[in-house]
A and B are shown apart, each in its own frame.
Chain A
Amino acid sequence: MDQKESSPEPILFIRKLQQNYINYYKLQAATGQPVEGVTVYRPKEKPILVKQLPPGIRAQLQEYKDNHPKQEITLVKFMRTVNGKPELLIEDESDLPSESQILSISQTITVNTDELIRVITDLLIARRI
């Protein structure tokens, strides 16, 4: 019997994402310390603007909107990590959107030389209604 890798199940991944979620704004408020040295901004302080999103994420967001013209999309959280460490965290005390409303778009860009490894990951969380 041949067995090849199975395709990922979208709902299962979204559930994992929900289960693993940590609210870093609440964490910062509770500890009084920045998260891994990075201050967590609320969207009111640092708005998540489409025009400021990385081009790859912006393009995918636009494509999603074009394919779902009746949905209203609200940008709720944004994170940038470099080599797994946070560089920018924007979120407030609200939880992730529910599993039927969540939209996540991400991109990872790498810069590598014989002396350098930079893995830059941007993650946008939006609510779709």
Chain B
Amino acid sequence: MATILYEFEGQQKELDFSDGSGRKPIIVLLHGTGGTKSDMVSPGSAPDNNYDHSSIFPGDVSIGWRDYPGIGVWSCCELDPKMDVLSWREILSKYNFRTAVYSQVDPVGFLARPVAELVVVMATLQKNFPETDFVLLAHSRGGLLTRKFLKDNPELARMVTKVITLHSPHTGSSLASIASTVREIIETLQDAIGDIVLVLFDWLLDLADSDAYREMAIGSEFLTELAKGENAYKWIQYFTFGGTSVRLSRIRSWVYTAESAIPQWHLPPFFHERAVSEVPGISPIADSLPNLIDELTEGLGDLLTADARTRLPFATHQVNHINHAEALWHPLIQAQVLRILGEDPSDVFPPGDDTSFWG
């Protein structure tokens, strides 16, 4: 791992560079709204949304003999446990790709400064690695950052051979327009089941209420200007990915088993056991939220973007049933990207077990 320094607006900043094969392109990893380089390097630490929502629940747990019958809820509420995940940098390094990653300025602000910063970053990389091909791999708003950079900087665009955007709202997001409604829903849920809701959705509120999402609102001046006169460069291959799952985590509670209420010929007479159950009416989340917008609708969105709005007319599109955060580590999408990069990722995701489809 090496650090490449660059200067932006008079300040020295760091670009993390991981080494690999000189015969392969350098992958520049661009995070999304509200993120940092951690999104692409250690998503299990931040954004920390790697809930294992499809795991089998653990078996019944013995509590012990009690004087009283065990009836109803033993404890509530908890989320699915986190799972180990491989970041984009880790999986790309495993395939001997060199990567470059940095934390953008204004992660929840307007895009103007992040675009100016990317110009400096790419110029710095070009200077350090002349005659090298680059791939831009961008999550969420990073895709819009990429497009704006390429459109405004055709000379630097010559160093780019592939653009891959992961769940980027290319034609906008409705989230900003319903920020206050989302806040009301989340506050109602918080009243019902407590602060655990904030653990899940605080970040969503922050994003919905940000300048970044206002700038990405459907039909915004920024998006209109970006699309005006935008053409694909002939030497660049474009790929987009969209997601259609709004499931983040189940809300679990421990309930007494029915046997805990039945006395046995024993003193004390009740043997308590507890079992995991989903909280009815709320779990899983956010499947249970009202389908206010496509972004929050199972089968159409990924919590922050709607699949239909993650497409570009000049890009090859793939759809996966994963949520917005899972685009940072899910083996399915990592395998698809590795194939785009010319690799055979059968050890990451076995062929034939691929549930995605080409959109």
Contact = CB atoms under 8 A, between A and B. Distances in A.
The 3 A-B pairs at the shortest CB distance, nearest first, are namely A84-B67, A84-B268, A8-B258
A23 B142 CA distance: 71
24 contacts: A2-B284, A4-B277, A4-B280, A5-B255, A6-B275, A8-B259, A16-B264, A20-B265, A21-B266, A22-B265, A79-B263, A79-B265, A81-B269, A83-B68, A84-B66, A84-B268, A84-B270, A85-B67, A106-B262, A108-B69, A121-B270, A123-B263, A123-B269, A125-B265
Interface of A: 1-8, 13, 16-17, 20-22, 24, 35-36, 77, 79, 81, 83-86, 91, 96, 104, 106, 108, 119, 121, 123, 125
B144 interface: no
B264 A20 contact: yes
Which of A5, A16, A106 has the most B CB atoms < 10 Å from its CB? Answer: A5
B1 interface: no
Interface of B: 54, 56-57, 66-69, 250, 255, 257-259, 261-271, 275-278, 280, 284
Given A8-B258, A8-B259, A13-B259, A1 B54 contact: yes
A46 B275 CA distance: 40
Contacts of A79: 263, 265, 269
A16 to B, nearest CB: 7
A17 B265 CA distance: 7
A4 B57 CA distance: 10
A50 B101 CA distance: 80
A120 to B, nearest CB: 11
A108 B187 CA distance: 39
Given A4-B277, A5-B275, A5-B277, A21 B69 contact: no
A29 to B, nearest CB: 16
B68 A4 contact: no
B57 A21 contact: no
Given A3-B277, A3-B278, A84 B269 contact: yes
A84 B257 CA distance: 19
Given A17-B264, A20-B264, A106-B263, A84 B68 contact: yes
Contacts of B67: 81, 83-85, 119
A84 B65 CA distance: 10
A81 B69 contact: no
A32 B280 CA distance: 52
A6 B277 CA distance: 9
A81 B276 contact: no
A46 to B, nearest CB: 17
A86 B267 contact: yes
Given A4-B280, A81-B269, 16 more contacts: A3-B57, A3-B250, A3-B278, A5-B255, A5-B275, A13-B262, A20-B271, A21-B264, A35-B267, A77-B265, A81-B267, A84-B68, A84-B267, A85-B67, A85-B268, A123-B265
